A = this chain, B = another copy of it.
Amino acid sequence: MAKKVSLKDIAVKVGVSTALVSYVLNGKEKEKRVGAELVKKIKKVANDLNYTPNQIARSLRKGNTKTLGLIVADIANPFFGTMARVVEDEANRFGYTLVIGSSDEDSHKLGKLIDTLCNRQVDGFIIVPPEGSEGHIEGLLRRDVPLVLADRYFVGLESNYVVLDNYKATYEATSLLLNKGYKRIGIVAQDSELIHMSERVRGYSEAMKGNGLEKELCIKKLKFSELKLKMPEIVQDLTSGDSPLEALIFATNSLSLGGLYSIKETELNVPNDLAIIGFDGNEAFDFFYAPLTYISQPIAKMAKESVRILINQIEQGNNKTENKKLKHSLIIQDSC
């Protein structure tokens, strides 16, 4: 790697001190009363030599890196990929670079990522926190590290967060089914203590109870690892027997997808034998023989808000926390 042009190179060439060059190149020529002649000369030489400041050195001196850290569950997941993309663009717009990490929903991995990024002195974090990671988040908060939680948050922690109004999302989805006359409605959710999931289940429950159907509640929880193994079985169970379900809500994108793969293998006809509502968009939803009705998240808005809040905290030192619950939209197609 060829060595880069430094302030010193310019200084030597022009015959001044590095301080002066730094002032000029940082637009402090007025404030620091640099001679008009020299300003021109310095700018020209800087340009000729194709100078760009060494961010590492600058970071060390200034104590900031103009870098944000984004930690999602898995960047290969299109939901997080899309989110990352918007975060990247927004960060760039504000002059920040983005570093992305995947936690695999593993709080230990999250801890390692946080350490790494802290040592690299990122100025702040946007984190999609996995289960059991309150401790790590709390640690960051205690150290006053600028931080926004996205997609999920912890009830006990006073932190910034930007999430979907998950309760309302499933409440309305369930209501839609109820309005269409379905009564025996079930939900397949992730087996997780995380608030976004419990809110989704609660939205479903409350909607059912509101219709006097508390006895009909059917909630199945799956661990992530069991998805491929158990989904066919679950679909089978729920839709047979003496009171088979009439409708099913899937509480995540992967559950929806898993569900579709399973349903495809059965004799069931959607929506006649079974109505379904999915979560998050997915092109596959459109190609299912009965294109899926689904709850869509405003990913871009979530990402933008997160960045805005984060940068606000970094640059203004804003210390009161901001919370956002965004509204879903219901994409209505043919599956119910």
Contacts and interface: CB of A to CB of B under 8 A. Distances in A.
Interface of A: 1-2, 4, 52-57, 59-60, 65, 67, 74-78, 80-82, 84-85, 88-89, 97-102, 115-121, 142-146, 257, 260-261, 264, 282-284, 286-289
A119 B54 contact: yes
Q: How many copies does the complex hold?
A: 2
Given A53-B119, A56-B59, A286-B284, A76 B85 contact: yes
B97 A98 contact: no
Contacts of A85: 74-76, 102
B82 A1 contact: no
Given A55-B120, A98-B99, 15 more contacts: A1-B145, A55-B119, A55-B121, A56-B120, A60-B60, A75-B85, A76-B81, A81-B81, A97-B99, A97-B117, A99-B99, A257-B283, A283-B283, A284-B284, A289-B289
Contact of A287 (B60, B119, B287): B287
For the complex of A and B, the 8 pairs showing the least CB-CB separation, nearest first, are: A81-B81, A76-B85, A283-B284, A287-B287, A76-B82, A2-B143, A284-B284, A55-B119
Contacts of A101: 88, 98
